[in-house]
Amino acid sequence: MLRLPEFTLTRPESLDAALALLKEHGDAALPIAGGTDLVPNMKHGLFEPKMVVSLADVPELHGVEETADGGLRIGAMTTLASLAVHESVQRYPVLAQAASLIAGPQLREVGTLGGNVMLDTRCQWYNQTYFWRKALGYCLKKDGTECHVVKGGKKCVAAASNDTAPALMSLGAVLELAGPEGAREVTIDEFYVADGIVNRDVRQGELLVAVRIPAPAAGHRSAYGKLRTRGSIDFPLLGVACSFDLDAAGVIANADLVVTALQARPTRARKAIALLEGADTSGEGFEAVIAAVAAAARKQCHPLPNIPGDHEYRREMVPVYVTRTLRAALDEGGPVHHI
Amino acid sequence: MQNLRLNINGDSVEVGAPSHWTLCEVLRYRLGLTGTKQGCDKGDCGACTVLIDGRPVLSCIHLAALAEDKEVTTIEGLRPLHQAAGGEGCDPVQDSFDRCGALQCGFCQSGMILSAKALLDEVPVPTEEDARAALSGNLCRCTGYTQIFQAIERAACERAGLEPTKPAWAPESSEHEA
């Protein structure tokens, strides 16, 4: 049995009240949305707040609405289960599919989009009980000075494990944040940084309010692929988000390919994208393009032994999942996974 | 310590518990509702599944205070709620699990039945694929799941007046305690 640390729970009823509590209590307070990641992490002694601020009753964080420019604005407290089936979200298959594959059914009922965007990085040397971590002398990310993934490593390489992050990156999403200094906006590309300890450009006392996605082009195609040990519950061993626009002649434009669960930040497969851009999907040469895109993605992706699952196997699965996800996007199918 | 006002299985309950306690802990160690099982205790296994406003949720990682103002249903509530709604005997999902022998050690069964109940309340006649997806967050180390999916099909078919494709494990004539 795993006990939570003692804390007081507060339930502010407005965004201002929530921000005021976080400002007043500083490092001693943590916000909780669905808690599906924070609660196990607190049970493992990874976070020991004195106050937990529930965002459940903050109306500004709820709701999904279409924006004036035809895009979508999704409140941070939108549950993953409702996101996956929301009618407006189906215009962005990569996001609906990624949400539908996060964790298991009970976790998606409670877990939120905001929580997944703000998800802590994961590592097999970090997501363990206090007893387990203590026996090893801890690690760089929590309480220790040594990295068990990269011997002698001075920079934490815990893996970005949120499925919505690569999906939102491929859609060009913008995050609306609110904090003690006021509101600000940041593109999701700039938001994630290559630091496993905190891989998000989030400032003290700041909350994610909503995620905005621009309108999809008429020929928008996208899909999400996820590799994991079981067909449910597990975090990704590898995640592939693929998005592009297809014109009437079957030529690809605005291609994007983002691979996650390798390192601290989702990786944009730039050389693969360059090969995809302008490719004619109706031509005979497209099979060769797919093979070249998959090979280029493999070359750029270097999974580390940071999360469970053999990292060499995970690397060999990069071209497999890139190929399958690309084909799924083209065929308006997906998601790519297994049960 | 805080005073929680919970609605459990149709009853309003006022109970004192520390604010860092999970719903699972309050159910088991304050209210004695030990039908909700504490398995992995960190949101992996599904043994602690309860229904909150009809949706399956893991009580071991759900703060009890956040279940206030909501309807919580545990395994203990299925039979009385079924009878309060005019039914006889236990809930048809429980009955089907029983008739199909959908358990061995029984530890996962409360969570399995509640996930199945949430599915059947939402989808009148689920396919086996629906059932596999809906129960994918509940782990069983004994049964191999075969009879569990059989039980769900049987419960759905019985309600819809259809013939199940697979025979029930137990003979139809088996005695049932109402």
CA distance A256 to A297: 12
Would you state the structure tokens that stand for residue A6, as one six-digit string? 């003692």
C-alpha distances (whole Å) from B44 to each of A21, A97, A103, A174, A228 are 31, 21, 9, 32, 14
Give the span between the Cα atoms of A294 and A313, in whole angstroms. Answer: 15
| Residue showing tokens 């626009």 | A245
The verdict on A87 touching B (C-beta cutoff 8 Å) is no
Q: What pLDDT, on the 0 to 100 scale, is given for residue A87?
A: 98
Total domains present in chain B: 2
Q: What is the CATH number of domain A61-119+159-213?
A: 3.30.465.10
Tens of pLDDT, residue by residue over A252-266, are 999 999 999 999 999
> Which residue of chain B has the CA closest to A55?
B66
For A81, A113, A125, A139, A315, the CA distances from A147, given in Å and listed in that order, are 36, 30, 9, 5, 21
Reduce the DSSP state of residue A113 to 3 states and report it: helix
| CB-based contact B137 A104, cutoff 8 Å | yes
Please tell me whether residues B101 and B65 are part of one structural domain: no
pLDDT mean over A60-79: 97
Question: Are the beta carbons of A294 and A323 closer than 8 angstroms?
Answer: yes
Q: What is the mean pLDDT of chain A?
A: 97
Question: What are A8-27's pLDDT values in tens digits?
Answer: 999 999 999 999 999 999 99
Express each pLDDT in A192-222 by its tens digit. Answer: 999 999 999 999 999 999 999 999 999 999 9
- The predicted complex's ipTM stands at 0.95
Cβ pair A9:B19 closer than 8 A:
yes
What pLDDT is recorded for position B168? 58
Domain of residue B150 covers 82-160
The CATH class, in words, for A1-54 is: alpha beta
- The torsion angles phi and psi of A51, rounded to 5 degrees, stand at -135, 135
Segment B111-140 shows an average pLDDT of 96
The last residue of a domain, from among B41, B76, B111: B76
Q: Do A36 and B43 touch (CB under 8 A)?
A: yes
Q: Does A292 touch chain B (CB under 8 A)?
A: no
Question: B22: which chain A residues are within 8 Å (Cβ-Cβ)?
Answer: 4, 39
Regarding whether B156 and B95 lie in a shared domain, the answer is yes
Q: Is residue B166 part of a domain?
A: no
Domain spans, chain A:
1-54, 61-119+159-213, 220-330
CA-CA distances (angstroms) from residue A81 to A103, A116, A308, A334?
Answer: 11, 12, 26, 17
Q: Contact at 8 Å (CB) between B50 and B71?
A: no
pLDDT on residue B165: 81
Asked which of B47, B76, B105 is the last residue of a domain, the reply is B76
CATH class entry, domain A220-330 = alpha beta
Q: What is the CATH number of the domain that holds B33?
A: 3.10.20.30
What is the CATH number for B87? 1.10.150.120
Distances (CA, A) of A218 to A35, A92, A223, A280, B169: 37, 11, 16, 17, 53
Chain A residue with Cα closest to B64: A9
CB contact (8 A) between residue B41 and residue A2: yes
| B72 and B101, same domain (yes or no) | no
Residue B175: pLDDT above 80? no
Q: Are strands A238-246 and A220-227 parallel, antiparallel or unpaired?
A: antiparallel
